[in-house]
A = this chain, B = another copy of it.
Amino acid sequence: MSKDEIIILDCILSPFCMRVKIALNEKGVSYESKEEDLFGWKGGKSELLLKSNPIHKKVPVLLHNGNPLNESSNIVTYIDETWPSSSPLLPSSPYERARARFWIDYIDKKVFETGGKIWRSNGDEQEAAKKEFIEILKQLEEALGDNDFFGGERFGIVDVIAIPFSCWFYAFEKVGGFKVEEHCPKLSNWEKRCLLKESVGSVIPSPDMVYGFVSSMRNKLGLE
């Protein structure tokens, strides 16, 4: 569809990178992915990454005809504003847009950090993190209500922002000994609904792959 040059500085397991790929898929915009070596296994982060995101030095970076964009929620909004005609992601009314941004901010601040506390700990600390994580998901489930998607009947920006975390849930569950589905059945159904979409399913890695990564990190940290 697009003749623009679109490059993502990417990491296959990063939910933040997945957001950008899902948004571009929704828009029908093709892109080239360049996998970054975040853990220094093959020489470390590329010069292009350090130059394109000098403040945070993090993936994802979107390079649109060479112009760098940083921070995944910001990039997804940019994608929606740059290709507005197909599959709008943000709602059209200012009030609904503000509501969507509120939940994006909530998800950005809470979900991955709290999930990380589950797998980076054991014992009481892990129990507390698990409890906090379930509360956060319940809050999200309440926001979802009886809708098919956070965007209502349509898959929208909050769905793009939230769904990539789902492939990490299995690792959180295995390490923490709980099931998201038992606490948040509606959210689990939403997850299945999203994964059926080609734009999402083609981007999200298998939960087993994430669990493999989490296990190896826990081993390294002496937690297993």
* A residues adjacent to B (C-beta < 8 A): 55, 64, 67, 69-71, 74-75, 77-78, 81-82, 94-95, 97-98, 101-102, 105-106, 139
A102 cross-chain contacts in B, Cβ below 8 A: 69-71, 74
Q: What would 12 more interface pairs be, CB under 8 Å, given A69-B102, A71-B101, A74-B102?
A: A55-B139, A64-B95, A69-B95, A71-B105, A74-B101, A74-B105, A75-B98, A77-B98, A77-B101, A78-B95, A78-B97, A81-B94
Copies per complex of this chain: 2
A94 to B55, CA, bound (A): 20
User: 25 A-B Cβ contacts within 8 A?
Assistant: A55-B106, A55-B139, A67-B95, A69-B95, A69-B98, A69-B102, A70-B102, A71-B101, A71-B102, A71-B105, A74-B98, A74-B101, A74-B102, A74-B105, A75-B98, A77-B97, A77-B98, A77-B101, A78-B94, A78-B95, A78-B97, A78-B98, A81-B94, A81-B97, A82-B94
Min Cβ gap A55→B in Å is: 7
Please indicate the chain B residues that have their CB under 8 angstroms from the CB of A77 in the complex. Answer: 97-98, 101
**A81 vs B106: C-alpha distance when bound (angstroms):** 21
Main secondary structure of the interface of A (DSSP, over half): helix
Within the complex, the shortest CB–CB distance from A16 to chain B, in Å, comes to 13
Q: Kindly provide the distance from the CB of A188 to the nearest chain B CB, expressed in whole angstroms.
A: 22
Residues on B with C-beta less than 8 A from A64 are 95
Least distance between A86 CB and chain B CB atoms (Å): 15
Minimum-distance CB pairs A-B, first 7: A81-B94, A78-B98, A74-B101, A82-B94, A69-B98, A78-B94, A74-B98
**Residues of chain B within 8 A of A95, CB atoms compared:** 64, 67, 69, 78
Complex Cα distance, B81 from A77, in Å, reads 14
User: Which residue on B lies nearest to A110, using beta carbons?
Assistant: B55
Question: Which residue in chain B gives the minimum CB-CB distance to A82?
Answer: B94
Say how far A96's CB is from chain B's closest CB, in angstroms.
10
Query: Which residues of the partner chain B approach A70 to less than 8 Å between Cβ atoms?
Result: 102
Provide the residues of chain B in CB contact with A106, threshold 8 Å.
55
